[in-house]
Amino acid sequence: MKTTKATKSTPVKPVAKKTAKKAAKKATAATGKATGVAKKATGTIKKTATASKKAAPAKTVAKKAAPAQAAPKKAIVESHAALVRRARRINRELAEVYPYAHPELDFENPFQLVIATVLSAQTTDLRVNQTTPGLFAKYPTPEDLAAANPEEVEEILRPTGFFRAKTKSVIGLSKALVEDFGGEVPGRLEDLVKLPGVGRKTAFVVLGNAFGRPGITVDTHFGRLVRRWQWTDETDPDKVEAAVGALFPKSEWTMLSHHVIFHGRRICHARKPACGACPIAPLCPAYGEGETDPEKARKLLKYEKGGFPGQRLNPPQSYLDAGGIPAPPLGAG
């Protein structure tokens, strides 16, 4: 049999080659797709990593900003009797530090004191003390101020701020004194609070310092400190007055007010208390809110403790003896 020709005519090898080529092309395409997917995946990973890197500083900023938040105060758990003891001890300590504490408004009689106290709203005692000499030189009595030209009074009171409203108050107050009290400042709380511009705080300043009758003066310094010391958490001045008054004998109320206000102006400041220079630090639950380093704290002291002028142009002799410096008149230096 002749099988040689049949064998030669069978195209086995070319078909195998074509099949191999097709398989190779398919494999290459598959590899290309896989490579593309891999590249896309790699690109996505890189973008994600880049985004993460860009976002990372936000976490860092948040961590840096966190310490700025004030630490919550630790409430003291104490009985009422313990609170009374601590409060009275603080007052005794402050009395030793400020034996010369006094009202920081210049005045020579009850009329001058009530007018000066009304003018002290929304300004400093220093600015009032620098302004009232000119006012009282021109209008020395309630009768004089009651008959004054409002425009002339406004010009004098301009440095104290809110001078139009204050002019209306002091002229109205003077008229009420003349018409209802014979030109004399009354010495009773219920009468004083009827005068224009006179509230309980002003009335207690006048009663305590012009008439020697006990009263608690709840100004911004007093309210801030008694809350800082956790004597009360009240914010309404009348409620603060009642809560603090219950901790002390009535005879101590006036000087207590002076001690607390003096301390608030000189050492226990609102924004940056000089904790490291504070004589009552061991008794204060808020110790550490301000500067605790003694050297740095001493640089924060104001008025006589820091060698600076006080608020009064004519302070008591006891204040001068303690190293206090009189304030300069309006327009000086």
- List the catalytic residue out of 106, 125, 166, 201: 201
Encode burial over 266-296: b for 16+ CB neighbours within 10 A, e otherwise: bbbbeeebbbbbbebbeebebbebbbbeeee
Q: Which among 92, 100, 167, 93 has a CA at the least distance from the CA of 312? A: 100
Closest CA relative to residue 140, chosen from 166, 115, 176: 115
Helices (H), 211-304: 220-228, 237-245, 253-266, 294-298
The DSSP code sequence of 235-252 is -SHHHHHHHHHTTS-GGG
φ, ψ (nearest 5 deg) of residue 10: -80, 115
Q: Is 168 exposed, middle or buried (0-12, 13-18, 19+ CB in 10 A)?
A: middle
Q: Is 325 helix (H, G, I), strand (E, B) or coil?
A: strand
Task: Provide the token pair at 27.
Answer: 């494999």
The active-site residue out of 168, 219, 296, 302 is: 219
Give the 3-state secondary structure of residue 57. Answer: helix
Residue 201 annotated among the catalytic residues of the structure:
yes
CB 191 within 8 A of CB 181: yes
Active site residue 321: no
Closest to 245 in 3D by CA, of 235, 257, 233: 257
Q: What are phi and psi of 56, to 5 degrees?
A: -55, -45
Query: Which residues are marked as active site?
Result: 201, 219
